Chain A
Amino acid sequence: NAGVMQNPRHLVRRRGQEARLRCSPVKGHSHVYWYRQLPEEGLKFMVYLQKENIIDESGMPKERFSAEFPKEGPSILRIQQVVRGDSAAYFCASSQDRGGDSPLHFGNGTRLTVT
C-alpha cells in the first residue's frame, strides 16, 4: 500500500500523558498536513509542513501541541499533557506539490481517546 500511513490507528492516553502520532506520507510527497476531526464535526486544519520546515501552523493550539517533519522518517504530531478535549481523530494528508491541482491523499487517521 503506497498511501499515507498513520499509526497507531487507535491510541488511548490518560490525562497528563503524552501522545505521539506518526504519519508516513506517500513516497515522493514532501508536503504534509495535519487535520483534527472532533466528534460530529468536519475536519479542521492544524498545520502544514514541508521537509524540516513548518509552513503554516495557524490551526495549532498555542500550547502542548507541536509537529515536525524531519529529513528522514515520518511526520510526528505530539501532544503533551493531554486533556479530555484532545480526544478526536487526527488525520494526516500529503501531496506532491502545493495548491489545488495537486491532490491530497489522506491517511486513515489516528483516533485518540483521553481517559
Chain B
Amino acid sequence: AQSVTQLDSQVPVFEEAPVELRCNYSSSVSVYLFWYVQYPNQGLQLLLKYLSGSTLVKGINGFEAEFNKSQTSFHLRKPSVHISDTAEYFCVGLRAAGNKLTFGGGTRVLVKP
C-alpha cells in the first residue's frame, strides 16, 4: 500500500528565511506526487505536481520541490517565506493507475515577523 510521510508536523520560520518541508513516500509502482496548501478554514490549493520528466518542479508562490527516486523523497522548498505563507502543507501521492489521493499528515508552517 502506498503511504506518504511528512516528517515535521510543525515548522516555525522567520519571515524572509528559507523553509524546507520534508516528505517521503513509499510505493511499489509509479507514483505521481503533489504538494497542496490549506489556508485557515479554506479548501486545498495545488502548489505543484510531479508526474514525470524533470525532477525539479516549480510551483506557484515561489515554491519548488525535488523528486528524488533513490531516496523516495519529494521535499518542498521556498528560499524566502512571507507571512502569508502561514498555512498547512500536504504532501500527496497518487498511484499511476489509481484514483484516490494518499495524504501525508500535514506540516503546519508558522511564519514569524
A→B interface (CB under 8 Å):
4, 6, 33, 35, 41-45, 48, 55-56, 58-59, 91, 93, 98-101, 103-104, 106-109
A-B contact pairs, 24 of them (CB 8 A): A4-B43, A33-B100, A35-B101, A35-B103, A42-B90, A42-B104, A42-B106, A43-B90, A45-B102, A48-B99, A55-B99, A56-B100, A59-B100, A93-B44, A98-B99, A100-B51, A100-B94, A103-B49, A104-B101, A106-B36, A107-B43, A108-B41, A108-B42, A109-B43
What is the interface of chain B, defined by CB distance below 8 A to chain A?
A: 32, 36, 41-46, 49, 51, 90, 94, 96, 99-106
Does A104 contact B32, Cβ atoms closer than 8 Å?
no
With A42-B90, A106-B44, A108-B42 known to touch, is A101 a contact of B51 (CB < 8 Å)? yes
Q: How far is the CA of A41 from the CA of B6 in the complex (A)?
A: 12
A59 / chain B contacts, CB cutoff of 8 Å: 100
- CB closest residue in chain A, given B45: A106
Give chain B residues whose Cβ lies under 8 Å from the Cβ of A103: 46, 49
Cross-chain contact of B105 among A6, A35, A41, A104 (Cβ < 8 A): A41
Once the chains bind, are A56 and B106 in contact (CB under 8 Å)? no
Determine the chain A residues whose CB is within 8 A of the CB of B90 once the complex forms. Answer: 42-43
Cα-based distance from A48 to B100 in the complex (angstroms): 8
CB A114 to nearest CB in B, in angstroms, measures 19
Give min CB distance, A100 to chain B, whole Å: 3
Q: Is the CB of B32 within 8 A of A100?
A: yes
**Residues of chain A contacted by B96 (CB below 8 angstroms):** 99-100
Contacts of B49 in A (CB 8 A): 100, 103
CA distance A98 to B15 in the complex (A): 39
CB nearest neighbor in B for A92: B43
